[in-house]
Amino acid sequence: MGFILAAAGSAIGLGNIWRFPAVAYENGGGAFFLPYLFALLTAGIPLLILEFAIGHKYRASAPGSFAKINRKFQGIGWWQLVICFVIAVYYAAVIAWALSYAVFSINLRWGDDTEGFLFGQYLKLADTPGQFGGIVPGVFIPLIVVWLVTLFVLYSGVRKGIEVANKIMLPALFVLFAILVIRALTLEGAAEGLNAFFKPNWDTILNGKVWVAAYGQIFFSLSIGFAIMVTYSSYLSKKSDITNSAFITGFANSGFELLAGIGVFGILGFMAAQQGVGVDEVVSGGVGLAFVVFPQIINTLPALNGFFGFLFFASLVLAGLTSLISIVETYIAGLQEKFNISRAKAVLYGGGLTTIVSIVFSSKGGLFFLDVVDYFINNFGVALAGLVEVIAVAWIARQLGKLQEHANSVSDIRLGLWWKVCLAVITPIVLGYMMVDNIITNIRENYGGYETWFVSAYGWAVAALAILLGIVFSLFRNNAPEIAASDSKEVSR
């Protein structure tokens, strides 16, 4: 149970709440569910099973597990850990914003001009991208709080820290969000919002980009391709049913996304009704949806505005924290194993360094850095590492058969040829296409209209540095003795 909650907690993050609803709407509404479900069953769950099987079979962190498949693959694991480090440094900043906004909700401190409040009063956004412009105390203080909570959970260990935190935070997230969704569905205009979300536009179903968007959504929201699931499953007991655990994690993640879509579009329908416009005119996603549009909606709720505002931003904090804990745990486990150091030292060095670097994102230019780093590390870090991982395991090491045998030896649901086809054929083709398409798009045009030096220094260079550091770390000699499958590492299932 602890493992499933931790894995689901990792998968369910900020993207489920603010990315999925907008992606689904832009890609055919109800018709998007077809490619989305297809992607879940042919890439999401098979990849989850693969990563669970790798961690469970080799019982080590990502670099250790990949090294046991083939010594030369250790670099893939380290590359994924560096990606986790990069994501952690900015992800914590977004959770810090949500924490601030949970407090601001009490007296609706953002006022009527929510956009001006976010960029002007709260973030004190620099004039041009690339400027640091000094630390913003209103972001810095909650950022330190986020890190104290995260590092305390990690310091407390896998069973007493991560497992306990997820047992509290994930149910709390579901309860808070369920209250919010029920309220959303009782608002005037909610039905129009849901109609916009679910109404199928069948013309989009043959559009290749819609299918790529569905695979992208599944891939980015399931925490696959960046070491988390390998690390978590290495703590599982030997007899744990890993295939069923992958199905629960995948469906729980999608179930929450669906819930988020219903809640978000119910509320957007209310906003559209208040303004007398169509739902299409108020749809947005990402930071703008959470920190500009939602405060506007909260302002116009008929009653208990502060309470529902608090529920929304507290949900973001909980969803973010459970994911952040899993992201940082990957390199805490990697450092422990590589340098044979105690958990306390790994948390101190690994977590301490992450905290220091993340302070950059509490500067006045933090949002610009965050935007570019997030885009490049996801598209040319997570997705590329996932592609390399699948090719390495399926085609170079040809380990799918052994991993299938391992999964079948502990699981009720038997993996057949379909699992191998999904991983060896479908996933590499889709991820490969996504990669080529992204590279061409970004060569033709700078992401977000930023200047070339800025996307080169904080986008391309960060993604390239992750690969380089992955190789460098893999060349360091391992100080730890060979890790044996140990029951002391296990957590309850």
Partner 1 sequence: MEGSAIAMMIIGIVIIWGGLAASIVNAVIKARQNGSKSDS
Separation CA 458–CA 125 (nearest Å) = 17
Whole-number Cα distances in Å, 177 to 56, 260, 268, 303, 366: 32, 8, 16, 18, 28
Q: Pick between residue 14 and residue 279 the one whose CB is nearest to partner 1.
A: 279
Beta bridge partners of 236: 491
Cα–Cα distance, 60 to 69 (Å, whole number)? 11
User: In sequence order, what DSSP letters do the residues of 348-372 get, joined into one string?
Assistant: IIIIHHHHHHHGGGGBTTHHHHHHH
What are the backbone dihedrals phi and psi of residue 201, each rounded to the nearest 5 degrees, phi first? Answer: -105, 95
Based on CB atoms, which residue is closest to partner 1, 175 or 468? 175
Work out which of 127, 206, 239, 487 binds partner 1, going by CB under 8 A. 239
Name the nearest CA neighbour of 7 among 214, 231, 182, 184.
231
- Scanning 51-59, 134-142, 216-224, 243-251 for contacts with partner 1 by CB under 8 A, the matching segment is 243-251
Burial group, residue 276, by CB count within 10 angstroms (0-12, 13-18, 19+): exposed
Contact code string over 252-291 relative to partner 1, x by CB under 8 A: x-xx--x---x-----------------------------
For residue 145, state whether it binds partner 1 (rule: CB under 8 A). Answer: no
Is 244 an interacting residue with respect to partner 1 (CB under 8 A)?
Answer: yes
**Is 487 one of the binding residues for partner 1 (CB under 8 A)?**
no
Is the separation of the CB atoms in 18 and 285 below 8 Å?
A: yes
Does residue 432 belong to the site contacting partner 1 (CB under 8 A)?
no
Q: How far is the CB of 493 from partner 1 (least distance, A)?
A: 8
248 binds partner 1 (CB under 8 A): yes
Residue appearing with tokens 């390998």: 230
- Give me the 13-32 binding string for partner 1, x by CB under 8 A, dash otherwise: ----------------xxx-
Restricted to residues 175-194, the positions that interact with partner 1 (CB under 8 A) are 191, 194
Only one of the segments 62-70, 75-83, 198-206, 430-438 lies at the binding site for partner 1 (rule: CB under 8 A); that segment is: 198-206
Show the tokens assigned to 88: 């952690």
Of 161 and 261, nearer to partner 1 (C-beta) is 261
Supply angle C-alpha 461, 54, 19, rounded to 5: 50
Q: b/e for 252-268, b at 16 or more Cβ within 10 A?
A: bbbebbbbbbbbbbbbb
Return the number of the residue (37 or 125) whose C-beta is nearest partner 1: 37
- Which of 124, 163, 25, 50 shows the shortest CA–CA distance to 404? 50
Q: Provide, rounded to whole angstroms, the least separation between the CB of residue 51 and partner 1.
A: 17
Is residue 168 within 8 Å of 9, Cβ to Cβ?
A: no
Write out the two tokens for 178: 């369920």
Give the shortest CB-317-to-partner 1 separation in angstroms: 24
* Sole binder of partner 1 in the list 119, 247, 349, 433 (CB under 8 A): 247
Rule CB under 8 A: choose which of 125, 241, 420, 437 binds partner 1: 241
Question: For binding to partner 1 (CB under 8 A), which residues are involved?
Answer: 4, 29-31, 33, 37, 191, 194-195, 197-200, 239, 241, 244-245, 247-248, 251-252, 254-255, 258, 262, 412-413, 493
